[in-house]
Amino acid sequence: MTAEATGEWHGWRGWRAATETALYGPGGFYRRPEGPVGHFRTSVHASPLFAGAVARLLCRVDEVLGRPASLDFVDMAAGRGELVTGVLAALPADVAARTRAYAVEIADRPAPLDHRIEWLPEPPRRITGVLFANEWLDNVPLEVAEVDPAGVARLVLVRRDGTELLGEPVAGAEADWLARWWPLGGAAGARAEIGLPRDEAWAAVVGALDRGLAVAVDYAHTARARPPFGTLTGFRQGRETAPVPDGSCDITAHVALDACAAAGSLPGTRLLSQREALRALGLTGARPSLQLASTRPAEYVRALAAAGEAAELTAMGGLGDFGWLVQPVGIPDVLAD
């Protein structure tokens, strides 16, 4: 049933506006002091090896930039600064001394954060170095479309309790985006998330990069395999749950990274899996030699634990399937084999 048929419009909003309020409005999910770490686990939380790999990526960019006097590292959607803190700790001393570290987050700065990290509500306007967006784009709010019984794609409206109703037909730039990136056809019930706001958000931050590398890491899909019913979901206290826009849970949807790549189109742009990216940065998950167990057992135990963590970060069917959108600006491909 559509809102037009029922005459019911009061209290209903599109998913984009509802998510914006639920996540980023006063008292929203991402403005809470405790942060999202208790609700879901990212690669950053899975192992310090992830921050170490990102630090190696920053060092590669530093080298091709000619070791500039000031090297920027921008952590988009920084949470409580876990990634940028880990990257600073993993850098060689000479690189760390030249690194200007930025954490971009709407929540207040955590009290114990390293004094070297600048806390900002939006990225710097001029960046030379690396802009790294780990699980940012999946939380950029967007509209949801669903095909009605007549074969018309309509915007999905939602109330604060998560109840949905079909609204107006999708039109304008949003209809154009669907036609290009996620054609729904006429099957009733087919759904899609309209990724136009994410394309625009990504193009805007990449536009701040003078020279260096922009990387977006996220749950992703491409035109070859769009999910037929969309991916909108919620997370609360470590468990997946219904997406209810009342501020009590995270609201997320996988990212059409191919559309984001086209929006910020640059020479050398690549889409690859996290497994491929981390292996290019030296993280393989290979087990240590058994000979080490007999000669240096403590070292063997540490190496075995690290191998287990690396295996989790690169596992097919898990974190290794995350998409990496890599866009160099004025530099060669630093992830090339």
Paired tokens of 237? 């206290």
pLDDT in the model for residue 31: 82
Q: What is the DSSP code (8-state) at residue 239?
A: E
Distance CA 280, CA 136 (A): 23
Distance CA 231, CA 142 (A): 12
**Greater model confidence, 53 or 38:** 53
Helix (H) / strand (E) containing 238: none
Q: What is the pLDDT of residues 146-156, one digit of tens each?
A: 999 999 999 99
Q: What is the pLDDT of residues 208-265, one digit of tens each?
A: 999 999 999 999 999 999 999 999 999 988 789 999 999 999 999 999 999 999 997 7
Phi-psi sector, 67: left (phi>0), alpha (psi -120 to 50), beta: left
pLDDT in the model for residue 124: 96
Q: What is the pLDDT of residues 95-122, one digit of tens each?
A: 999 999 999 999 889 988 999 999 999 9
